[in-house]
Structure 1
């Protein structure tokens, strides 16, 4: 089917719930397959942009979703029911890929195995912070420099081995729990790569196997085979599931957080972001700035300035924004403030 660039953006935005917000955290996360979550505040904002009526506390309190290291070896928020099979899919691959870096940090295979044995003693029935885990390991003669990257890589390795996952945050500190105690469900698809490809296309609307590979971090050959196993229809520059409605309304202005999945889901981001402005969004080091979406395209970045009385949401547009976009963003900023329990105003 022939689709214009505007059509593709509209289909993608609706698939991402940016034109059809959900009512609960689980529906948001399940609908968009996974939320990148190495930044907890950013993950909260991804939920806000795709829901209505929820608060940051609602996002933090949900036991229907949880975080672990999955796609691209990065922390992602996924439905609890998907945690085990996704861990089986990505865990061994991630653990193998991280071996070289672990050795550089002094995390030998022998030390890691000792640490995993100790974690099975420390964690039952508990949710411990990183420092509490380091203290427990040190008491057994396993000492890691808390200021180095070694603790993070050890915890990621333990997660990839299927031992633990992230629990609720303890104030501003993340906690870690035994996966077997935290995950009470286990969906077990017969063809996990095909299942993931289906979830990906459900969440991203129109895409290619190359996009799927970039998002998942899986080898392109596996991704092409997964696409080939699905009944797909050509759509514009990519493919879509047969059930995808390829007519969608334009996306209203949206305030997206850092690392937003709408931008991270494709290898070629040119349809969503003018390449000339790419460095304003991705300045290097893997950082993706908070962005403003206008008609499905990234039209600005934004940041906040907080005072005792209010939060200023400062928008830095790539070009002059139309009045209709500013009106929509005023509504978005009001909702941003409501979500966080702050008084927020737009500055553009």
Structure 2
């Protein structure tokens, strides 16, 4: 792989990294051929639309329908690990990713409480009553709102929604398996017997490693957008992995600094060509677009409103032709 990437090379590397195209450079293990394995590889996948996120994992694992079963069995968990938006992760990755990426979101959430008529005492009561009931079995959203009312908190005017999202960002409460299509909330410890004990710098390095391993070629700003952390927080992780040869710096099509995982240096020109040949159809909010803040290498700006993000921030399903995202 040359140190200066063409647009085709960027597209092909991303398709390969995201398990959407094969390459001998990225060894595909048996684990990756499961929804949970694909989720571990991707680390966190946008799940604003639950069904779309499950389809995205099924596509990457080549086993349609298995992601829904993994979610039902709590092997996959939908929560708010970064950017204050829904993500799907392997259960073992939820807590450390939440604790690493959510502090800034939690601080912003706390500042909004006065506008919602919530004080610290109300938040404490809501947390206690939800925690008590979510320890035994998943609590449907409607029931959670009843519990808030039982401690004199009106869940209307977005207060209930705000509280559930805030608690999700604390790392103890996550979404459980849906019941009759309704979101549920449950203590992570009650459905996940093993969480990776990553903290601090160790967690940061693991996140940066897995981001570039599953999404490179990408820029530091892409990682900043995806993680929600600031540049100064991310740079130590970049330096550690670069010094160890796990990621390599290259030049992008617009002369920007990009990073690729070490395995990408072995992708051949033939594999680049082969990765771009199949036409794909990907679901709404797919990580092929959502992983990067600069999507110009993947999608023409004329498609912003036909694919996304539209004025309401929604992404629609799209097809991929020669690595380019196009309207379905």
State the TM bucket, normalised to the shorter chain. 0.7 to 0.9
Q: Distance in 1 between matches of 2:40 and 2:68?
A: 19
5+ long unaligned stretches in structure 1: 301-314, 316-348
Contact 2:54/2:68 (8 A) holds in 1:
no
Q: Distance in 1 between matches of 2:103 and 2:68?
A: 33
Partner of residue 261 from structure 2, selected from 241, 244, 265: 241
Show the counterpart of 1:250.
Answer: 275
CA apart distance, 1:240? 1.2
Cα deviation, 1:83-134, whole Å, max 9, x if unaligned, reads 1211221233321121233322222222101111112222221111111111
Cα deviation, 1:202-225, whole Å, max 9, x if unaligned, reads 110211111100111111221233
Q: Distance in 1 between matches of 2:6 and 2:73?
A: 38
Cα deviation, 1:264-283, whole Å, max 9, x if unaligned, reads 11121100001222232222
Indicate whether 1:3 and 2:14 are aligned: no
Partner of residue 178 from structure 2, selected from 134, 148, 169: 169
Indicate whether 1:126 and 2:126 are aligned: no
Could you say what secondary structure the match of 1:262 adopts? helix
Could you say what secondary structure the match of 1:188 adopts? coil
Could you say what secondary structure the match of 2:61 adopts? coil
Show the counterpart of 2:315.
Answer: 288
Task: Within 5 Å, give how 1:91-106 maps onto structure 2.
Answer: 91-106=102-117
Show the counterpart of 1:207.
Answer: 218
Show the counterpart of 1:184.
Answer: 193
TM-score by length of 2: 0.85
Q: Distance in 1 between matches of 2:280 and 2:58?
A: 10
Show the counterpart of 1:156.
Answer: 165
Partner of residue 228 from structure 1, selected from 239, 259, 262: 239
Show the counterpart of 2:48.
Answer: 38
Show the counterpart of 1:263.
Answer: 289
Matched pairs, number: 299
Task: Provide closer, same or farther for how the CA distance between residues 4 and 11 of structure 1 changes in structure 2, counting only shifts above 3 A.
Answer: same
Cα-Cα RMSD: 1.8
Contact 1:49/1:254 (8 A) holds in 2:
no
Show the counterpart of 1:276.
Answer: 302
Indicate whether 1:114 and 2:125 are aligned: yes
CA apart distance, 1:62? 4.3
Cα deviation, 1:164-186, whole Å, max 9, x if unaligned, reads 10100102111110122122112
CA apart distance, 1:25? 0.8
Contact 2:303/2:326 (8 A) holds in 1:
no
TM-score by length of 1: 0.81
The 10-residue stretch of structure 1 (100-109 or 206-215) with the greater mean CA deviation from structure 2 = 100-109
5+ long unaligned stretches in structure 2: 23-27, 253-257
